Structure 1
Amino acid sequence: MTVLLDKSTGALVGAAVGDALGGATETALPEEIRARYGGWVDGIAPPFHADWATARPLAPYHKGDGHITDDTLVTHALVRVYAAKRDHLDAFDVADLLVADLTERVVFIPDMEREAVAFHRLAAAERWLVTRLRHAHADPREAGVGNVVNCGAAMYMAPVGVVNAGDPASAYAEAIEVAGAHQHSFGREAAGVFAAAVAAAMTAGATVDDVVSAALEVAHDGTRAAIAAVSKEAREHTDWRGALGRLRAAMAPFDTVGDDYRNPGLGARRPSRLHAIEELPVALGLLLVAGGDYREAVLGAVNYGRDADSTATMAGAIAGALGGAAAVPAQWSSAVAAASRADLAEPARVLAEVAAEVFALDRARFARRERRFGDLA
């Protein structure tokens, strides 16, 4: 196995396992999680609500029990877009290829317990893609403007980081282009920074400090400030169990949702240059607390609650890219694959193959530019 394939596998399998574990505790708060499960969650857990089909009528999904959610469904869809294009992506590829995949390809949806097109599993902020690009015929480069600002675009950007392995700045630029069809403001910014973090983690010998440095180097506005604040607090801790409240306090000034996660106020998810989505800074903070360890970073995200599946997806993707396939506990990955009826490793193999092809294209493109620039000199 090449290092590229090993890290691609760690990133994508790691993201999927984090997603599945975090799904069980999504929207709950740490104290509620401990009360529900009789202590900290330490692995795959049953749904927070035993009556999951009726407890939340607007979201009657069987989250928990090792089921991946929409975070992984769309991540795998983006891998298929890369497999079709076999080159860098732009907003028009989202309109032409990703929307078609989400609305026409039948897949098994674990937390709906049936086969369907992925569109039926998407939340309203993610259905925006289809509304704007297929029905409203918006310019793909501007289609994200007007959507609620959340982590919906960031949650599936790990493949952009893998394709741009070792080049955080290029990963950021490509993710910003791709995410423009879906998100705007600090939601779009988070997509770019997350992709950059994965690209940095894909570098041989990279550490979690390298990842945070790369994220800060490309980030802007409230996103950069939030990452800096949460990272500063995280460096004071070595155990997420004692860090969760402090990380939340560091993130709170930049978060528009508020402490009552299930009942956000009127200012929630509105565009701003001062604010940031919560999931990415907290994921990076938990990675610092865990020293880059996959298991501890993901469990920290699971027990942090709130948008736990997306936070754990991001922490899992970065930790998996840092440590490779072996970083992800095999007991978890095999159980999630079985429960979700999904081959978690195959998308990573495909993406590593595409990444190598794209790098060869980039090298040829740069050689051509070098010759042309040489003529100018």
Structure 2
Amino acid sequence: MKPELMKMALILGLLSCVGPFAIDMYLPAMPVMAEEYGVPTAMSQYTLVSFFIAFGICQLFYGPAADMFGRKPPLYFGLVLFLIASVGCALAPTIEWLIALRFVQGIGAASVMSIPRAIIRDRYTGTEATRLMTTVMLVISISPMLAPLVGSLLMAPFGWPAVFYGVALATVASLFLIRFALPETLSVSARTPLELSAMFDAFRVLLRDAYFMGMTLIGGVGMASFFAFLSVSSFLYTDYYGLTSTQFSLAFALNALGFFTASQFAANLCERFGGVAVVKWAVVGFALSAAVNLLLNLLGMDDFAILVGLLLLGNAFLGLVLPTTMVLSLDEHGPIAGTAASLGGTLQMMLGAAAIGIVSAVFDGTPLTLVAAIAICGVLAAVLFMLTLRRPAEPVPT
């Protein structure tokens, strides 16, 4: 990879880690928080739901703002808000306060979810964009591998509030990174006017583009499967399988290994076979691995090694699906890349929040709920792909 691409990938990857770190780092603390606050398990899971709702909805505003004011000002605003909310989470006196502050935290974190995608589209398209996106995904993939372990290490001597102080320190580092290492990629002449009508016109174009919506939703149900895992994994692994918080962190990291490894082959595979073909076969692989996991569980083969192994395989296929669908969905929308990235991110986060809410509500303490939810996501991804590719994508006027 060219040095310029590598530098940009590291910067954008580290910025994009802020949101996932705020999710993954405190997962080991969720059972402890529920116990200390004296609330049911489902109540602590609402801290995830509130974060994801804000995280998803607010991307709708950051994208157009990035098209109007440039890429860096909205990043500053979001990260400062995220920093304040992180400190507030550490000091939350009740679970209700924590849920509310997690919502505010999600508002801030939304800035570093959609804007980095637009920055990539500002500079690159096609194979180069896919290569950069997968390298960003590589950096992001380190988060679920390391964040729960870091959270466990902080929580052991200092208690669960230390997790949020750790996130706050990472946010300060991100602000310095934006100030001194990230260039502004949207020139003043390329910025859209500050008009609500222009923003709604852009949304209208995107919502009518079946190809954009299809690729976005394929990636969205893939994300939803992982968010379903996020919502119950700490309780399933520690309560049902008897893992310690450190063992849970290691098992959680193992699940991310498949995504981490496979995503690095996405650009080369797209260059050789085309992005659509890569998505096609990766979706098939994801759906089949999820179906096998559900079938084995229904047949009574409730084995931790089988569960983790098939989750790892499914995440490997998602490592091809997610970066490729992100690039394909934005290819025809360069002039409104910020708005397109924000709408795509919002739709995907809303699917993730819905998955968390549904799975948390029906979770019975066994793996069946989880593997069934992931299997449903696999089937939906396959159906969406068939509907999206019924006819070739046509350029959509922006």
* Bin of the TM-score, shorter chain as denominator length: under 0.3
TM-score (norm 2): 0.26
Q: TM-score, normalised by structure 1?
A: 0.27
Q: Counting helix residues as a fraction of each chain, which structure ranks higher? A: 2
